[in-house]
Structure 1
Amino acid sequence: MGDASKDTLIEGLARVCSRAGLTEPSDLTRLTGGATMESWRFMCGDRAFILRRAPTLEFMANRPFGHDVEAEVIRKAVAAGVTAPRVVAELEPEDGIGSGFVMEALPGTPNPKEILEFEDTDALLKDVARDLARIHSVKPGDLPDAVPVMDYRQAIADLKAQFEEAGGDRPIIALGLKWMEDNCPDPCEPVLIHGDYRMGNLLCEAGELTGVLDWELAHFGDPHEDLAFGCMAVWRFHRYDRPALGLGSLEDYFATYEAESGRTVDLGRFRYWLIHRTVWWALGCLGMARIWRSGEDRMLERVVISRRTSEQELDLLMLLEEDAPEECKAKQKWWPISSPDRTNGDATVSEILTAISEWLGTIKDQVKGHDRFQLAVARNALGIAMRDEEFLPDLHVDKRRADAIMAGELTVAERGLVGHLRRAALEKLSVDSPKYPALAVALEKWVIPEEEAE
């Protein structure tokens, strides 16, 4: 059902809507984004709804629970006062359009760039903290047993297995995994964890939270996991300077959360989960290439997201080097490799890719909806390929060094290690994502300005 036509979807939706007491669906439109699940907007009369759907039934096979349980999680969250959409119906096999559910469309935008430019982000941050506290009010026993309870140590073991499957050759990720093994906190009383509580999954309008979306990663665990995940540098987008979701300060975020939840935020546990989820997302990005290679899902976003691993490696190193001795953290010389002057002969690979990207730019106004989003992703992919072909050494791949870190033989206290990993992170990210906001912060923190290095 992954390639179902609009007509097929409309026919299936008509059966779903009839069962839910709604009128005939119309104006079905694929929403942009969605590297995992598909989202489609449609109308029933003057009311708007969203179809959330797996691209294939096989796609759901290895997930801890299905869409029926996800729908129940959302219903329980709404009952707890969370600003989440109301689920009106789940898809059934006889509907013929796969696995998923239909929910009411809520007002607002999920676009982080728009949200982070709102005037009153302080009020929005309070809304976000309030809703997170309400999510955490749900306990095991309130939901079906299919919603898993996280075993922290098993979660680390699973990430280590992913790391080895991906080659086990990225020293910065190895450093994070070893740190997690050495610093894993004791379990606490589990609460419902959204699992993906961040900018991009929050609908907002006029400075207010209007919806919490994408509950597929829900589980029971440590509330600090949710608190930390949204505060990762990657989810602050262009507002790196606002550590709480790109909206404001951690102090304000924690104060509202503590007042609403009755819990006290433990800064040590918060740091653990900030590192844990940075490693988790680094490996999630890395694994996208494997999914694409296998043929399981050949979406263009897969290969591009795989190159965002370097963003997480840079963020992870900045977190981990806090534990290094001061003498290992001095600024160093580093300049990006210069582009070679190749103005003669036949076209280089980089010039061919540039020509393709320029041509794609000429047809931008001729495509719409999800195809327009895919075109932008394609041009980003070509940019990565151009920079890779011209600049990238393989400093970031080092199986022997990664193995030594995992064995505890190399730590951040080893003279020269932090400096080597810094250079590797800078060079890789300069190719993969040169506009990533944390890159400028890392350059300021790590590199001696050229005029001072002479």
Structure 2
Amino acid sequence: MSVVSEDRARIESAIRRRYGEAARVEDLRLATLGQSNRTWLLDIVESGGARREAVLRQETYQGPGNPFLPSHKQYRAICIARELGVPTPEPFFLFEEADGLGQGFAMARVEGETLPKKILEDPAFASVRPRLAYQCGEIFASLHRCSEEALAFLADSPDSVDPIRAQRDRIDAYREAHPALELGLRWLELNRPREVTRTLVHGDMRNGNFIVGEDGIRAVLDWECCHIGDPLEDLGWLCTRSWRFGRYDRPVGGFGKRADLYAGYRSVAGREIDEREARYWEIFGLVRWAAINLMQAFGHVELGRSSVVFAACGRNCAEMEYDLLRTLDGSFD
């Protein structure tokens, strides 16, 4: 029996364990998108006929330089964010050892679009695109209301301790020479922003990691990189050049202007954004995204996580290095 077939049987058992022996699983399938975890889509049908559209996420990367939080910490962060008013899928349950599925969790499936190309080009989203940057600012400000005292479970994350050191350690773990990234890391170390009140940082909210409907952003996904940090790290990541998908005149995800993002943030948080500090975190994002691509390529070459997508990540790193150098010399916005 294949790993996928074994997991199908285990998923059915896990569902019955929580929803009763009469519960059944329908339309179980592996998602074709999302590469950091294995993602299953399914319908849970309870004994009385109630149907829950669900998503199951399984951890898959266990190699060196792993930047992803353990599933139980992701799950806890989602619950906190949901209480703060951040739109997230409803959490259903964490996997347990008896499930035999490794680490992961189940949550509600939210209808909408995640493909950046469709979000940026589909006429169905024409009316909502001009509002997305402002809405992202509102969402970030809601998330950042969380006090550091509530986040002790994230305190030992390398990104919580020192995000620059975390990237350096990950890059070093892959045993490749990357002078452009060394230059970027040195620039980040020499230009660290002032100390700020730290908060819950999502770490990966960008175009492609939220679900958009004709009414706007319906759910923020992919919480495996959340940590304690500078709130401007989130705003900078969303504006990092890699996430503009060729629409460089619209730095917020390829769909909006920084001014709209900052205005949305200010409307909830009541604070002005220091644009120079936000810019710092955009540059940080290029280094960090390069490190993540190196991780995926390393998994393909060294750890048996064979995938054309992961192999392409190794090539993509050169793009980030080029963007980084041109950004540092002032050629790129």
Give the TM-score normalised by the residue count of structure 1: 0.65
AA aligned opposite 2:271:
R
CA distance in 1, matches of 2:266, 2:203: 19
State how far apart, in whole Å, the 2-side matches of 1:113 and 1:241 are: 16
- Rate the CA distance shift 1:151–1:103 in 2: closer, same or farther, 3 A: closer
CA distance in 1, matches of 2:325, 2:215: 34
- Cα gap change, 1:219 to 1:72, in 2 (>3 Å): same
Q: Which amino acid is 1:28 matched to?
A: L
Distance 1:206 1:219, change over 3 A: same
CA RMSD, 1 decimal: 2.6
2:145 counterpart (134, 137, 140): 137
2:203 maps to 195
Structure 1 residue 319: Cα displacement: 1.4
Task: Give the % identical residues.
Answer: 30
1:313-392 mapped onto 2 (5 Å cutoff):
313-322=321-330
Report 1:369-448 matches (<5 A). none
Q: What is the CA–CA distance in structure 2 between the aligned matches of 1:260 and 1:14, rounded to whole Å?
A: 43
- How far apart, CA to CA, are the structure 1 residues paired with 2:290 and 2:268? 32
Q: Cα distance 1:93–1:255, how it changes in 2: closer, same or farther (>3 A)?
A: same
Structure 2 match to 1:29:
29
Partner deviation per Cα, 1:24-54 (whole Å, 9 max, x = no partner): 1121111112221011100123431000111
In the TM superposition, what is the alpha-carbon distance from 1:173 to its structure 2 partner? 2.0
Correspondence 1:114 to 2:122? no
Shift of 1:144: 4.8
For 1:125, the equivalent position in structure 2 comes to: 133
- Is 1:86 paired with 2:86? no
User: Residues 208-249 of structure 1: CA distance to partner in whole angstroms, max 9, x if unpaired?
Assistant: 111100001110100110001011111111422211111211
Report the TM-score, using the length of structure 2 for normalisation.
Answer: 0.88
Deviations 1:105-157 (A, max 9, x none): 00101111111122121222222221111111112232452454667884323
1:250 equivalent in structure 2: 258
Question: Larger % of strand: which?
Answer: 2
Q: Deviations over 1:52-93 (max 9, x none)?
A: 11137x469966742122111111111111110011111111
- Contact map agreement 2:89 2:109 (CA 8 A) in 1: yes
The yes-or-no answer on 1:259 pairing with 2:257 is: no
The amino acid of 2:72's aligned partner reads D
Matches within 5 A, 1:143-222: 143-148=151-156, 154-166=162-174, 169-222=177-230
1:403-433 per-position Cα deviation (integer Å, ceiling 9, x unaligned): xxxxxxxxxxxxxxxxxxxxxxxxxxxxxxx
Structure 1 gaps of 5+ residues are 323-328, 330-441, 446-454
SS in 2 for 1:245: coil
> Would you say 1:48 and 2:63 are equivalent positions?
no
Structure 2 partner of 1:371: none
Structure 1 runs (4+) greater than 6 angstroms displaced: 149-153
Task: Give the aligned length.
Answer: 322
Question: Cα distance, 1:275 vs. partner?
Answer: 1.0
Contact 2:160 2:227 in 1 (8 A): no
1:54 partner letter: E
Indicate the SS of the match to 1:50.
strand
Alignment correspondent of 1:230: 238
Name the CA distance, whole Å, in 2 between partners of 1:95 and 1:61.
Answer: 27
Tell me which moved more, 283-292 or 237-246.
283-292
Q: Which position in structure 1 is the counterpart of 2:287?
A: 279
Secondary structure of the 1:33 match is: coil
Residue aligned with 2:285, SS? helix
Give 3-state SS (helix, strand or coil) of 1:318's partner.
Answer: helix
Compared CA separation, residues 67 and 29, structure 1 to 2 (3 A): same
Q: Deviations over 1:240-279 (max 9, x none)?
A: 2211111211111101111111222111211111111211
Q: Any conservation in 2 of the 1:69–1:144 contact (CA below 8 Å)?
A: no
Matched position secondary structure for 2:219: strand
Residue 207 of structure 1, CA deviation: 4.6
Name the SS for the 2:251 alignment partner: coil
After superposition, the Cα gap between the structure-2 partners of 1:19 and 1:151, relative to the gap in structure 1 and judged at 3 Å, is closer
User: Which sits farther off after the overlay, 278-287 or 158-167?
Assistant: 158-167
Name the CA shift for 1:245/1:294 in 2 (closer, same or farther; >3 Å). Answer: same
Task: Tell which deviates more after alignment, 157-166 or 203-212.
Answer: 157-166
2:8 is matched with which residue? 10
Q: Is the 8 A contact 1:40 1:52 kept in 2?
A: yes
Partner residue of 1:105 out of 94, 106, 109: 109
Question: What SS does the corresponding residue of 1:197 show, helix, strand or coil?
Answer: coil
Query: 2:193, 2:277 within 8 Å by CA — same for their partners in 1?
Result: yes
